[in-house]
Amino acid sequence: MNERVRKLREQSLNAINRLSHERAVLVTDYYQNQNTQGLSKPVERANLFEYILMKKNICINDFELIVGERGPAPKATPTYPEITLHSLKDLDILDSRPKVSFRVDEKTRKIYKEQIIPFWKGNTNRDRIMQNMDKEWLNAYEAGVFTEFQEQRAPGHTVLGKKIYSQGMIDIQKEIREQIEKLDYYKDKDAYDRREELKAMDVVAGALIMFAERHVAKLTKLAANEQDSKRKEELEKMVAVCRKVPANAPETFHEALQYYWFVHLGVITELNPWDSFNPGRLDQHLYPFYKKGLNEGSLDTEKATELLQCFWVKFNNHPSPPKIGVTAQESNTYTDFTLINLGGLKEDGSDAVNELSYLILDVIEEMRILQPSSMVQLSKKNPDKFIHRALKIIKTGFGQPSVFNTDAIIKELVRQGKSVEDARNGGASGCVESGAFGTEAYFLTGYFNFNKVLEITLNNGTDPVTGKQIGIQTGDPTKFRSFDQLIEAWKKQLNRFIDIKIKGNNIIEKINAGFMPVPFLSVLIDDCIKNGKDYNAGGARYNTSYIQGVGLGSITDNLTSVRYHVFDKKDIAMAELLKALKANYRGFDELRHKLVYETPKFGNDDEYTDRQAVIVFDCFYDAVNGRPTARGGEFRINMLPTTSHIYFGSVIGAMPDGRKAGKPVSEGISPVQGADIKGPTAVIKSVARIDHIKTGGTLLNQKFSPVFFNTEANIVKLGNLIRAYFRMDGHHIQFNVVDAETLKDAQKNPENYRDLIVRVAGYSDYFNDLGEDLQNEIISRTEHRM
Amino acid sequence: MKGLIFDIKRLALHDGPGIRTTVFLKGCPLNCRWCHNPESRCFDTELYMHVDKLEGKVFKKQKEIGYWMTVNEAMKEIEKDKIFFEESGGGVTFSGGEPFAQYEFLTGLLTACRNRSIHTALDTTGYIKREQLKNVYKLVDLFLYDLKHMDDKLHKKFTGVSNKLIIENLEWLSNRKRNIKIRFPVVPGYNDSEKNIDLMRALLEELYPDVKHIDLLPYHKMASSKAERLGLKQQVYEIEEPDAFKLGSIRKKFEETGFVVGIGG
């Protein structure tokens, strides 16, 4: 990388994550001082958006080519008091916690104390949500049966399609105004609602242009004062770029990147949607600009690389908004899950890999930073060269890019009812979640704790941790005559908790649709304009809500232990097992040894065990899939944990697979850490037994020793391994290429490993930023050697 | 009919092309001093003390090395990774011990693989009855053929058997245009002398280009610790691992004459 990029990268790496009160103050000022009387909710929110972009500090960093910061400076991270309010105690925790901390200075504390907290206390969306949840929901939530995604962040989780590469905001405003003209107040009962939503969209589209103009003004001033003639020229060029976009459609590579970046800032300023936002199929969107630039001679690969690297730094400057409580536990990371997609298929079904796909892979390898995250889509139509190139980056051991099965993603999306073209324009976002980019609003609603449900089942409906009865009485397990009876009981509990979760979700969806419309995000996602309907209210072409199952490996091993020892071999009585669990295996060493070492485990390509995984998966699917959501979409399942497997483990006592109380459960669809002893092909066969096509994403983590990647021939074999998994409809696989010794040493001497990035679950993170329990969990994941 | 197997290893990357499953047949007529699979030698199951550790506590239990399997049972294990074989141009490798020492079982396995279109590799000492080799050589897609020492006296001393049959079988196979890869275990102080390398090269040059690939397998010390861990009674010899320079010079010698040389297999 050149000197500029090196400096920008350093700046970004060295910037301290801190909490900025800027946005909180502007939002509070707006509601305190601006006249919002008589405004519809969408217009009120649109005016707020405009207000923030008009008032916020414009930050332009030295050397940069792509401009715009969400906060007043890199990594100065705003808060969203209308969604959730941080108490002074929360601020202390954020400031002082050892991991994923945010510095909070005295001034911010004072402003929070005097202005923000008094205004918002009891009036946030979080308060609204919690007040509307019933006792059953709160009990289950507090017990850790599930988490709630919308508790501190807005729904979002979507990816931009092609739209902005052919339309400027002026074009979009024109389209919006035409829609307003077309409204039929005689036949359409929702005409007023549509008009208000469309008016709001018009305001926010204009606001983004205004925001760019503010950058133009500042850049012009900087250019005038610049002594260095080369930088002066750059600044003048940037003035022209920001004048052109987002008002108009981009015509150059630079303009396309800058346009996206303004849009990105708009989305993450409007609210704090989950998984920030995402340009998605970057190699596809930028390719025409790249080609055009090369043909005209206005761009070369060096310049394109530099611009991409500057663009990369911008993502890294934007940590995920500060999370607290359960939300911090389920997603304990600075990463905000922008996932760049490369490769895959074009809309017409042909191979989409192009020169830019390779160039961007070079950028990923060279930048080696946390954000943005990256992945390759691998279709059977993509060349081997592409996956081999990706594997050579994976080999360097920072967990990126991860590898996705394009053909499976398309099947999943089409199965859910999307057109094949929309499916082909899609990919994966966040950790592993399938989506139709640019046309789908897919919310993740919460993680679901399979193993907690089993614990409650084994205690006849009671949570042994609190002694509260929160499930239904499905019977005393010592009276069960067959394994099927246990499955039936577990299924009843599962259905019950899924019902509770879905009821809560549907209430929350209505609250978000009514109180937290997002006109700016709605401008970007089709067909919100056409429908005159907000993204949060079902305006998108496709609307999906996910519940994410967690701990498949653990529950499979737990059920298998019971099936094998209690019902098949009959060498352990149920009563004895329950006693051992209650005692957390104290005094049951022999028994525990048998459960850990002499019991079949998931991940070893063994039908006897894997059958339990399929049962759990099918029950979960049946309980959730296809049920209607409040905004007119459907509920679906996927299987990913982020960091919730640590939290979920912490609320469960000892379990029948020999796991002790409080220890993590397995992550994604991976086997229990260390239980897969037959190697990667066996793991792949086991996890392929569940039907990935019925999900919206599954996550498989494999830890490999670096020697696995040491020859060209082995790289080819790893490519074959992935292809075989994908032939079995596997959705995703990611690799941690680092040996256990290195990790142990890093735990002891963190100072020597400040740059060590490892794969966690659907994303990578600095090893030093992980909690000790998560570090231990990663060390204990099986490292496959040759 | 059952055969005695001591391990089935999936995703073996060193035993032939593509992703392979290696089936280790137990029992070997040779007695190489540097043998890195001490549990592969005896023609019967053996007892050893198995140790599990759980939170610092030690659980000991006597277990057996080796299990008897029918051809069908073994094929069921092999076929589990068929999709990986197909994707990678891989297959199964029979290793040992000396697979030919369980001739009928091996024939059954090779026939079953041929019937199911699974690529086969055979890792052999070459110490095989010609009659048996004649009967099955067409069922083997790739021979991984060990060549240990050219001096018959020393061969006898270090392995317990003569190299005459081994060399003759190699010549016989090579005349039949079989796909052969030579494996030369480089054991310092035993077979890495200039003289031995030159003789080996002379032999292989005669077989060139029917034999073209040579893998140098550097001795590693894992063997002695493995025997100890399993509690197997076996004389342990102090052997150094070959250094990279030495390996490089041997490699160069073979490459000079046109051989394709790999290190580590």
- Best probe of the B interface among A681, A705, A709, A712, by most B CBs < 10 A, is A681
Do B80 and A593 lie within an 8 Å CB cutoff?
A: no
For residue A633, the model assigns a pLDDT of 98
Whether the bond into B185 is cis, omega within 30 of 0 = no
Q: What is the DSSP string of A688-734?
A: TTS-GGGSS-B--EEEE-GGGGSSHHHHHHHHHHHHHHHHTT--EEE
pLDDT at A786 over 50: no
d(CA A616, CA A771): 30
Q: What is the DSSP string of A717-785?
A: HHHHHHHHHHHTT--EEEEEE--HHHHHHHHH-GGGGTT-EEE-SSSEEEGGGS-HHHHHHHHHS-EE-
d(CA B9, CA A784): 12
Nearest to A724 among B12, B52, B83 (CB): B83
d(CA A522, CA A179): 14
Under DSSP, is residue A652 helix (H, G, I), strand (E, B) or coil?
coil
Strands annotated E in B154-259: 180-186, 211-218
Do A681 and B18 lie within an 8 Å CB cutoff?
A: no
ipTM score of complex: 0.94
Given CA atoms A612, A721, A425, A162 in this order, what sign does their dihedral have? Answer: positive
d(CA A69, CA A693): 39
Kindly report, residue by residue over A596-609, the tens digit of the pLDDT: 999 999 999 999 99
**A310 belongs to the catalytic site:** no
Task: Please state the length of chain B.
Answer: 265
pTM for the model: 0.94
CA B53 to chain centre: 32
Under DSSP, is residue A443 helix (H, G, I), strand (E, B) or coil?
strand
Return all residues near A33 (Cβ < 8 A) that are at least 6 apart.
none
Q: What is the mean pLDDT of residues B130-143?
A: 97
d(CA B111, CA B136): 9
Do A724 and B87 lie within an 8 Å CB cutoff?
A: yes
Please count the residue pairs, one from chain A and one from chain B, whose beta carbons lie less than 8 angstroms apart. 64
Instruction: Name which residue leads in pLDDT, A698 or A736.
Output: A698
Catalytic pick among A59, A242, A310, A431: A431
d(CA A392, CA A395): 5
- Inter-axis angle of helices A191-225 and A253-270, to 10 degrees? 120
Do A728 and B52 lie within an 8 Å CB cutoff?
A: no
Q: Taking CB atoms and an 8 Å cutoff, what residues of chain B touch A590?
A: 59
The CATH H-level superfamily of B2-49+62-263 is Aldolase class I (3.20.20.70)
Kindly report, residue by residue over A617-661, the tens digit of the pLDDT: 999 999 999 999 999 999 999 999 888 999 999 999 999 999 999
Catalytic pick among A433, A440, A509, A667: A433
Q: What is the mean pLDDT of residues A257-282?
A: 96
Domain boundaries, chain B: 2-49+62-263
Under DSSP, is residue A19 helix (H, G, I), strand (E, B) or coil?
strand
Under the banding of pLDDT at 50, 70 and 90, the label for residue B240 is confident
Both tokens of residue A386? 């592409």
Give me the residues paired with residue A443 across strands. A545
Q: How far is B23 from chain A (nearest CA, A)?
A: 14
Phi (first) and psi of residue B242, to 5 degrees: -70, 145
d(CA A156, CA A430): 11
Q: A321: which DSSP letter?
A: P
Closest Cα to residue A453, out of A550, A585, A574, A579?
A550
Both tokens of residue A609? 């065990």
**A433 belongs to the catalytic site:** yes
Q: Taking CB atoms and an 8 Å cutoff, what residues of chain A touch B59?
A: 590, 593, 597
Under the banding of pLDDT at 50, 70 and 90, the label for residue A282 is very high
pLDDT at A761 over 70: no
Please identify which residue in the block is written with the tokens 């109180």: A515
Nearest to A717 among B13, B59, B81 (CB): B13
Do B10 and A679 lie within an 8 Å CB cutoff?
A: yes
CA A605 to chain centre: 30
Do A681 and B13 lie within an 8 Å CB cutoff?
A: no
Helix (H) or strand (E) holding A692: none
Q: Which amino acid is at A660?
A: K
pLDDT at A390 over 90: yes
Q: Does B131 touch chain A (CB under 8 A)?
A: no
Contact A344, A377 (CB under 8 A): yes
pLDDT at B264 over 90: no
Q: Does B83 touch chain A (CB under 8 A)?
A: yes
d(CA B94, CA B102): 11
Helix (H) or strand (E) holding B50: strand B46-54
Contact B17, B10 (CB under 8 A): no
